[in-house]
A = this chain, B = another copy of it.
Amino acid sequence: MKTGQLKGNLDLVLLAVLSGGPLHGYAVIAGLRDRSEGAFDLPEGTVYPALHKLERDGLVRSSWDDSGGRRRRTYEITPRGERALACQREQWLTFVHGVNSVLAAVTP
């Protein structure tokens, strides 16, 4: 890295985006770009495998929608995913606090 843009917080932001309601994969990427004000523009090769892993872990579930010719896979956060999100959010806040504490002594 630059451990990639997300530095180990990919699951957190994906779950956060999905907590706003079900989205298909491509829309997750767009949603993340919008909600981060352009800061996070992730390649598909990052997001799709991550979503698959979240599904394997039971944090999201997906369903295929083939109506309209173009196939889409819609992802939805599970109750387990909601709990994981809350937990990872706490860890994120702790982490930020830790780094900021270290940075606090740096000449402002």
Instruction: Give this chain's copy count.
Output: 2
Q: Mark A71-108, 1 if CB is under 8 A from B, else 0.
A: 00000000000000100010010111111011111110
Q: How large is the interface on A (under 10, 10 to 19, 20 to 34, 35 or more residues)?
A: 35 or more
Residue contact B16 to A98, C-beta cutoff 8 Å: no
Residue pairs across A and B with Cβ atoms less than 8 A apart, 30 shown, are A1-B3, A1-B7, A1-B8, A2-B8, A3-B7, A7-B7, A7-B8, A7-B9, A7-B95, A9-B99, A12-B99, A12-B103, A16-B103, A16-B105, A19-B106, A32-B102, A35-B101, A35-B102, A36-B98, A36-B99, A36-B101, A36-B102, A37-B98, A37-B101, A39-B97, A85-B106, A89-B103, A89-B106, A92-B99, A92-B103
